[in-house]
Amino acid sequence: QYQEDAFVWGKSLSPNAGNALLNITNFTPNQETRNMIFIMVAKGNVQNTSTDILTGTSQNNSWFFGWGADQRLQFGRIGNSSTYASLDVGAGLNGKWHVFTGIATQTGQNGGSLSLRIDGEVLGTTGTFTEELRHNDGMSINWKDIEIAELLIYRNQKSTHELDAIETYLIDKYNPDPEITNMKIISLRPIPSTSVYLNDSFTLPQTVYANMSNGTIQSAGVTWSTSIETDTPGLKTATATAVMDPTKTVTLSVYVMSVSYLKALDPITINHGDNYPLPNRITAVMTNGDEEKVDVRWSSKTNVLDVGTHTLTATFVGDNSKTVNLTVHVQQIAVTGVSLHENSMLLPKDSEAMLYASVAPSNASNRSLVWTSSDPTVATVDNDGKVKGVGEGTANITVKTVDGGFTDVSQITVFVSAISIQLNKSSTQLRINDQEQLTVIPNPEDAEINNVEWSSSNASVAEVDQTGKITAKSAGGTIITATVNTPGGILTATCQVNVSQVTVVDYKIVNYTRTGFIVYTLSADINIVLSDGTVHEHGRISGRGFFMSSYTTSVSGTALAESTGETVSYSISVTIP
């Protein structure tokens, strides 16, 4: 994994190979970095003054890793000692493998920190660094003084944990000395041939397997003689040359396939309404005679097929001229019955309601229905089962299936519903123990009124029974309410009832002056008028013979009875001798 993350990776670099960095893999040309980490596994026996071990050039500055004038190991920018990080490794490397790490951190446009590590130990001094590493700018190695086993250059900073893990792994790997350092490629192993579809993209690998001089099989970086073009069918080849040893080559064969024809498809039979997934890949015969599964698209413009026979066309996505037909037989599923969700319904006149029917089975092919009413003057029904109340009465709504003629019936009772109500009296005046009958008047007048509920807001003043009859109980006021529950909602009407208590006062006659014939001696004064006979002044009666007559008198003038809060008429009868 540490190799895959590297910007530049060199492996098994042999000494005395000249100024070339061999076996470079995993790099992206012309990608600059200001945050550079290089790790080199190397060994040497001498410590030469002012000898660069590894140098790299860039657009603005050249960088190096090597010996300085003071025989200290240095890392920095060429020609500017202030940008060095230096490391004192003593008398020399003594032919031992060491892991050298150079870290450049560019945090701003004008430079950053730079340090050196050897075998994971931070020994270098801090300098500044303003570098832009580009692979195409070039690198060189002085092979005379040092032998390099691996070289890694990273474009970005790594965490302390990641860097420690890489260094520890390399230290363990190269101690003791590995044989891999001086391995050579014996041969590149054959690459299995492959095939691609016409116009598909194909990428050649950057590494192939190689037989090494120590008997192992290793990955080797290669360059290719040509790319594989897939715009025409046929056999294409490309030759890979090992970067480490250009004399070692291997050839890759790629067959660019084209569809000769799509194989015939067997007809299918499905039930109407069933789901049948069409395959996205079907078998094709290729130009080389092989059979392959290829991607296709289907011609059907709808996902639902009616009862009958249909032809669908599959087209190879890579060539519209390659097609094959599929015959689909869709068979009908017969209806076995129908049922209504409501067997009966109460419906106010001029209102609407829905009847719902279930056809069995649920996946029947022909689910069409016919709706009829036994009496359209009472209720009508449309093609969707919507029922409307037309007039009072009862009608049967019938649903019938087109397939099979199965039926079901719902009885509809239509009634006239009141939209408002009022009472025959909005208010009334009663005396104690009086009774009065209230009645409910609906609007419209022909509306049915059932189950009227009567109530009194103060039953101690006046109570009402469930027929609407009021009985006055004591003086005061109360409200009588009639409540009717209709399909359209709850309707109410009220009557204000006032109950009074009458007190009779005593009277005396004042216009009858005959001595000894005072009828009443009472506290109140009244005048009397005889209703029959001849009445003279002072109420005297003229007639013949001796007799006694009784005459009914009536009160005239001021009212003669008192009650709480009102004035009433009052009649008395007196007997005149």
The whole-angstrom separation of Cα 376 and Cα 354 is 16
Report whether pLDDT(538) > 80. no
CA-closest candidate to residue 124, choices 136, 137, 133, 115: 115
Fold category of 337-415 in CATH: Immunoglobulin-like (2.60.40)
State pLDDT tens for residues 251-270: 999 988 888 899 999 999 98
- Can you tell me the mean pLDDT for 505-532? 44
Q: What is the pLDDT of residue 314?
A: 93
Report whether pLDDT(525) > 70. no
Q: What is the pLDDT of residue 552?
A: 39
Q: What is the pLDDT of residue 242?
A: 86
State pLDDT tens for residues 111-127: 556 677 777 766 544 44
The whole-angstrom separation of Cα 395 and Cα 376 is 8
Of 100-114, 375-389, 407-421, 447-461, which gets the smallest average pLDDT? 100-114
The whole-angstrom separation of Cα 236 and Cα 229 is 8
pLDDT band, residue 539 (cuts 50/70/90): very low
Q: What is the pLDDT of residue 355?
A: 96
The structure tokens listed for 5 are 């993350």
Of 56-60, 112-116, 313-317, 554-558, which gets the smallest average pLDDT? 554-558
pLDDT band, residue 413 (cuts 50/70/90): very high
Residue 149 near residue 171 (C-beta atoms within 8 A): no
What's the mean pLDDT when you consider all of the chain? 74
Instruction: Name the percent of the chain in helix, strand, coil, to the closest 5.
Output: 5, 45, 50
Q: What is the pLDDT of residue 22?
A: 39
- Can you tell me the mean pLDDT for 305-311? 87
The structure tokens listed for 532 are 């029959």
Report whether pLDDT(197) > 70. yes
Of 130-139, 315-324, 349-358, 463-472, which gets the smallest average pLDDT? 130-139
Q: Give the residue extent of every domain in the chain.
A: 36-174, 185-257, 259-331, 337-415, 420-500, 504-575
Residue 471 near residue 435 (C-beta atoms within 8 A): yes
Report whether pLDDT(131) > 60. no
Report whether pLDDT(546) > 50. no
The whole-angstrom separation of Cα 38 and Cα 99 is 10
State pLDDT tens for residues 272-301: 878 888 999 999 998 878 888 888 999 865
Provide the β-strand partners of residue 4.
none
Q: What share of the chain has pLDDT > 70, as a percent?
A: 63
273: left (phi over 0), alpha (psi -120 to 50) or beta: left
Q: What is the pLDDT of residue 52?
A: 65
Strands 453-456 and 525-526: unpaired
Residue 144 near residue 54 (C-beta atoms within 8 A): no
State pLDDT tens for residues 141-180: 555 556 677 777 776 667 777 888 888 878 777 764 444 4
Of 49-53, 206-210, 516-520, which gets the smallest average pLDDT? 516-520
- Can you tell me the mean pLDDT for 370-384? 96
Torsion of CA 215, 221, 226, 231, to 10 degrees: 100
CA-closest candidate to residue 281, choices 260, 297, 299: 297
The structure tokens listed for 133 are 């590493």
Fold category of 420-500 in CATH: Immunoglobulin-like (2.60.40)
Q: Same CATH fold, 420-500 and 259-331?
A: yes
State pLDDT tens for residues 7-59: 455 544 444 443 334 333 334 444 455 567 778 877 765 555 556 666 665 55
| CATH for 185-257, options being 2.60.40.10, 3.30.450.40, 3.40.50.800, 3.30.300.30 | 2.60.40.10
Strands 62-67 and 73-77: antiparallel
State pLDDT tens for residues 50-95: 566 666 655 555 666 776 666 666 766 666 555 556 655 554 455 6
Residue 342 near residue 412 (C-beta atoms within 8 A): no
Which of the 8 DSSP states describes residue 171? H
Q: What is the pLDDT of residue 253?
A: 94
Q: What is the pLDDT of residue 135?
A: 42
Asked: is 259-331 a CATH 1.25.40 domain? The reply is no
pLDDT band, residue 495 (cuts 50/70/90): very high
Strands 194-197 and 249-257: parallel
The whole-angstrom separation of Cα 232 and Cα 255 is 10
Residue 22 near residue 10 (C-beta atoms within 8 A): yes
User: How many CB atoms are closer than 10 A to CB 52?
Assistant: 20
Residue 92 near residue 46 (C-beta atoms within 8 A): yes
Torsion of CA 535, 540, 543, 547, to 10 degrees: 130
pLDDT band, residue 199 (cuts 50/70/90): confident
CA-closest candidate to residue 268, choices 305, 243, 296: 305
Q: What is the pLDDT of residue 28?
A: 44
| Residue bearing the bigger pLDDT, 507 or 407 | 407
Sign (positive or negative) of CA dihedral 60, 66, 69, 72: positive
The whole-angstrom separation of Cα 176 and Cα 394 is 107
Residue 357 near residue 343 (C-beta atoms within 8 A): no
The whole-angstrom separation of Cα 108 and Cα 402 is 84
The whole-angstrom separation of Cα 282 and Cα 315 is 10
Q: What share of the chain has pLDDT > 90, as a percent?
A: 33
CA-closest candidate to residue 374, choices 415, 414, 402, 404: 414
What is the three-class DSSP state of 173? helix
Which of the 8 DSSP states describes residue 13? P
Please report, as a single letter, which amino acid is at residue 105: T
Of 233-237, 423-427, 434-438, which gets the smallest average pLDDT? 233-237
Q: What is the pLDDT of residue 82?
A: 54
- Can you tell me the mean pLDDT for 460-473? 95
What is the three-class DSSP state of 26? coil
Q: What is the pLDDT of residue 353?
A: 94
| Residue bearing the bigger pLDDT, 221 or 506 | 221
The structure tokens listed for 317 are 């996505």
- Can you tell me the mean pLDDT for 346-367? 90
Residue 60 near residue 80 (C-beta atoms within 8 A): no
| Residue bearing the bigger pLDDT, 503 or 64 | 64
